[in-house]
Copies of this chain bind each other. A is one copy, B any other.
Amino acid sequence: MHDVLANVQNLKIQCLDKGHVTLIDAMPRVVPESQKTADYAIVQAARVSYGDGTKTVNEDRGLIRYLMRHRHTTPFEMVEFKFHCKMPLFVARQWARHRMSSTNEYSGRYSLIKDEFYYPELGNVKKQSQNNKQGGSESLSECDALAFISHLQDISVKSYDIYEQYNQKEVAREQARMLLPVNVYTEWYWKIDLHNLLHFLALRCDSHAQYEIRVFADAMLALIKPIVPVTIEAWEDYHPMRGALLLTKLEADALAEFLKSSLWQLKAPLLNVQNRREQSEWLEKAARLGLNTNFDSQ
């Protein structure tokens, strides 16, 4: 038997200045020596639908890719991960939007909050983007960034001073904490199944996500990749927020009309894959895009 956590070199990844993501546990944790990864449990669950047992590694890979391509998502729920994470409170707030997960967080009602605050690196203070409403790619001038960080440190230190002072004067912790800014660190245990985790990662590894949560999402992706490598490969190939490309109806129609009207009808290129089903799915799409897929008649 093989412990899948052994697939990961370092179970703890530092994130931002004082945070981290640590992979605590996985389900399945123990897999047959012949398998070595938790992709195993996805295939096991999916095969119950077909009344089949396990097959060759190659057929297993084909099945996982088929499930991912065709949005048969339930077998991916059969794998579970548990992380211990430490992150600034404003990151925790975005994170907690993902409801299909289990969380136990450090409590500022029961315990003293620790004196740890997030300060961005100089080059990571961004300018407000003009065309969309998010943080842009352009960095703030070094001078302004320095001043901003300095103010942030000032407020953090000052507020923590008062927090400590009033804890000694026995203000209820649940109330004393309310003067702490949202760059204060918190921590939690977080458990989620692979299907919902991939949904989280699609949104939070994306370039539209705030940098400070993206760091944590990237860390989680790095941690699970050696444990479910076939699943991650399929996800990178087929998810529209990863390598795949979603053409809207308007775009597909415009492209089809354009390709059809080219001087001579273009012949669809073939995919460089062995999988015949995947090839034929492509030819259906190519036909929709106005490419010639009638190979016999040529």
Smallest CB separation, A297 vs chain B (Å): 19
- A216 interface hit (Cβ, 8 Å): no
Is B74 touching A102 in the complex (CB atoms < 8 A)? yes
**Do A162 and B170 form a contact, CB below 8 Å, given A178-B90, A242-B249, A254-B271?**
no
B78→A102 contact, CB < 8 A? yes
**Interface, chain A (partner B; CB < 8 A):** 3, 25-30, 41, 44-46, 48-51, 69, 71, 74-75, 77-78, 80, 82, 84, 88-90, 93, 96-97, 99-100, 102-112, 114, 118, 120, 125-129, 133-136, 140, 144, 148, 151-152, 155-156, 158-159, 162, 166-167, 169-183, 187-189, 191, 193, 203, 210, 212, 236-238, 240-252, 254-255, 257-258, 262, 266, 269-273, 278, 282, 285-286, 288-289
Q: Which of B167, B249, B288 contacts A237 (CB 8 A)?
A: B249
Find out whether the CB atom of B159 lies under 8 angstroms from the CB atom of A181: yes
Cα distance A249–B273 when bound, in Å?
12
Contact of A247 among B25, B244, B272 (CB under 8 A): B244
SS class, residues of chain A in contact with chain B: mixed
Contact of A3 among B30, B107, B262 (CB under 8 A): B30
A103: B residues at CB distance < 8 A? 74, 97
**A120 → chain B closest CB, angstroms:** 7
Interface centre among A175, A285, A288, A289 (most CB of B within 10 A): A175
Chain B, residue nearest A151 (CB): B162
Residues A152 and B178 in contact in the complex (CB < 8 Å), given A247-B245, A270-B254, A271-B251: yes
